C-alpha cells in the first residue's frame, strides 16, 4: 500500500527560527506513530503543515492531496484533535453533533450517539459547562464517528486526570483503530502511549533524529545493567547514556551487538522515555 504521508525537504521558517529544517519522512497506513520531541522542537509545526494550516517549503503529499491547495478536500479524510478544549465554548452537544453530521459526509451519527451514551454528557449541555475531560470525551466521540483515514492528535490529553487519559487511549484502540487507519500522536506523556505505538519519531530542533518502528527500536537500542567492576568496559563501547541505580550503572547503547552486551550484565529493552531523555540530552542547554 502506498504511504499515507510523504514529506520531502519540508522546511518552515518563522521570523527568528527554523521550525522545520529540511525534514523528510514517510508514514505507511495502519500505523500509530508517536511524534515526540521537546517543547519548540517543531512537532506542532509539522502537524500544521500536514493539515494545511500553515505554509511551508518542500513537498508534502497527504493521502494524495497537497495540503496547501486542497485543504478542504483533505479534511474530508483527516481528523484532528488539537490540544484539549478547542471546541467552541458556546456550542451545545446537540448542536455540534447536528452540525458535524450535516457537513461531514463520513460522519456516522449513530456511532457518535452510542459513544456519547457512555458518557455523562447531556444533549443540551454547553461546552462551557463541561470539565476539560468531558470536552475531550465529546471531541473524541465526534472524531471516532468519522470514518477518516488519518487521525492527528496534538497533545490530546494535556491537563486531563489519569482516568480520562487511560480511557482516551483505550477507546481509540478498542473502538477506532484498524489496519486502514493511521494515527499520529504527539504528547509529553510518553509512558502512556508507549505501548500503543507502532512507530516512533523523535524530532529535535526541526530535524527528525529518530524514525523507526518499535521492533527496530527494540533491536537497535539496548539497556544494560552493569556491576561497577564491568563499568569501565561498558564505557569503551560508547554508550548513549549512563545513570546510576542502587550502586549499579545502567548504560544505553545504540547499535551494539546484543551478545557483546549480554556478557556485561542484564540486558533489557529501554523505555521510550529513557531513550527520549538520552537522545535529547543538552536540548535546553
Partner 1 sequence: MKTFYWLVKREFWEHRGGFFWAPVITGGVSLLLTLMSLVTGEILGRRNNLFHFDGGDSIGPNGHLDVSMLGNVGGVLDCVLFGVIALMLGIMAIVVFFYCLGSLYNDRRDRSILFWKSLPISDGQTVLSKVASATVVAPVIACIVGVVTGLLLMLMVACAASLHGLNLWQLLLHVHPLQVIASVVALIPLYVIWALPTAGWLMLCSAWARSMPFLWALLLPPASLLMVWWFGLLGLFKVGAGWFWGNIVVRLLMSLIPGGWLRDVPALGHGLHADTPDALLDFLGVAQNYAALASPDLWIGAIAGVAMIAAAIWFRRWRDDS
Say whether residue 104 binds partner 1 (CB under 8 A): yes
CA distance 136 to 283: 31
Q: List b or e across 52-73, with b for residues whose CB sees 16 or more CB atoms inside 10 angstroms.
A: bebebeeebbbbebebeeeeee
CA distance 198 to 184: 10
CB of 54 to partner 1, least distance (A): 5
Number of C-beta neighbours around residue 278 at 10 A:
18
Instruction: Choose between 104 and 132: whose C-beta lies nearer to partner 1.
Output: 104
Residue 184 near residue 150 (C-beta atoms within 8 A): yes
Report the C-alpha dihedral over residues 114, 181, 50, 283, rounded to 10 degrees.
Answer: 100
CA distance 111 to 161: 25
Say whether residue 55 binds partner 1 (CB under 8 A): yes
Say whether residue 53 binds partner 1 (CB under 8 A): yes
Say whether residue 15 binds partner 1 (CB under 8 A): no
Say whether residue 268 binds partner 1 (CB under 8 A): no
Say whether residue 80 binds partner 1 (CB under 8 A): yes
Say whether residue 182 binds partner 1 (CB under 8 A): no
CB of 12 to partner 1, least distance (A): 10
Say whether residue 114 binds partner 1 (CB under 8 A): no
Report the C-alpha dihedral over residues 79, 81, 85, 89, rounded to 10 degrees.
Answer: -10
Candidates 89, 195, 238, 268: give the one binding partner 1 (CB under 8 A).
Answer: 89
Which of these segments, 29-37, 99-107, 168-176, 208-216, binds partner 1 (CB under 8 A)? 99-107
Please report, as residue ranges, which positions from 21 to 50 form the binding site for partner 1 (by CB under 8 A): 48
Which of these segments, 89-97, 156-164, 188-196, 215-223, binds partner 1 (CB under 8 A)? 89-97
CA distance 80 to 162: 22
Instruction: Choose between 100 and 277: whose C-beta lies nearer to partner 1.
Output: 100
Number of C-beta neighbours around residue 201 at 10 A:
22
Q: List b or e across 169-195, with b for residues whose CB sees 16 or more CB atoms inside 10 angstroms.
A: bebbeeebbeeebbbbbbbeebebbbe
221-226/265-268 β-pairing: antiparallel
Say whether residue 18 binds partner 1 (CB under 8 A): no
Instruction: Choose between 73 and 220: whose C-beta lies nearer to partner 1.
Output: 73
Total residues in contact with partner 1, by rule CB under 8 A: 32
Say whether residue 158 binds partner 1 (CB under 8 A): no
Q: Which residues bind partner 1 (CB under 8 A)?
A: 48, 51, 53-55, 71-76, 78-82, 86-92, 95, 98-100, 102-105, 139
Amino acid at each position: 500500500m502506498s504511504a499515507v504521508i510523504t514529506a520531502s525537504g519540508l522546511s518552515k521558517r518563522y521570523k527568528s527560527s527554523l521550525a522545520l529544517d529540511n525534514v523528510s519522512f514517510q508514514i505507511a497506513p495502519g500505523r500509530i506513530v508517536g511524534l515526540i520531541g521537546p517543547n519548540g522542537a517543531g512537532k506542532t509545526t509539522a502537524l500544521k503543515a500536514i493539515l494545511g494550516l500553515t505554509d511551508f517549503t518542500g513537498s508534502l503529499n497527504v493521502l494524495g492531496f497537497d495540503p496547501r491547495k486542497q485543504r478542504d478536500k483533505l479534511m474530508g479524510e483527516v481528523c484532528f484533535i488539537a490540544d484539549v478544549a478547542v471546541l467552541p465554548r458556546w456550542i451545545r452537544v446537540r448542536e455540534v453533533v447536528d452540525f458535524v453530521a450535516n457537513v461531514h459526509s463520513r460522519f456516522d451519527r449513530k456511532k457518535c450517539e452510542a459513544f456519547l451514551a457512555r458518557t455523562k454528557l447531556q444533549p443540551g449541555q454547553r461546552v462551557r459547562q463541561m470539565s476539560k475531560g468531558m470536552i475531550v470525551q465529546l471531541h473524541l466521540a465526534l472524531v471516532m464517528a468519522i470514518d477518516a483515514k488519518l487521525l492527528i492528535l496534538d497533545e490530546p490529553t494535556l491537563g486531563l486526570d489519569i482516568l480520562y487519559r487511560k480511557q482516551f487511549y483505550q477507546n481509540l484502540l478498542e473502538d477506532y483503530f484498524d489496519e486502514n487507519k493511521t494515527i499520529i500522536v504527539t504528547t509529553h506523556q510518553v509512558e502512556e502511549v508507549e505501548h500503543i505505538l507502532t512507530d516512533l519519531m523523535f524530532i529535535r530542533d526541526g530535524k527528525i533524529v529518530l524514525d523507526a518502528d518499535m521492533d527496530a527500536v527494540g533491536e537497535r537500542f539496548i539497556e544494560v545493567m552493569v556491576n561497577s567492576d564491568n563499568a569501565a568496559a561498558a564505557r569503551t563501547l560508547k554508550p548513549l547514556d549512563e545513570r546510576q541505580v542502587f550502586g549499579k550503572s545502567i548504560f544505553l547503547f545504540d547499535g551494539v551487538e546484543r551478545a557483546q552486551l549480554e556478557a556485561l550484565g542484564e540486558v533489557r529493552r529501554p523505555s521510550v522515555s529513557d531513550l527520549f531523555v538520552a537522545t535529547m540530552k543538552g536540548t535546553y542547554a
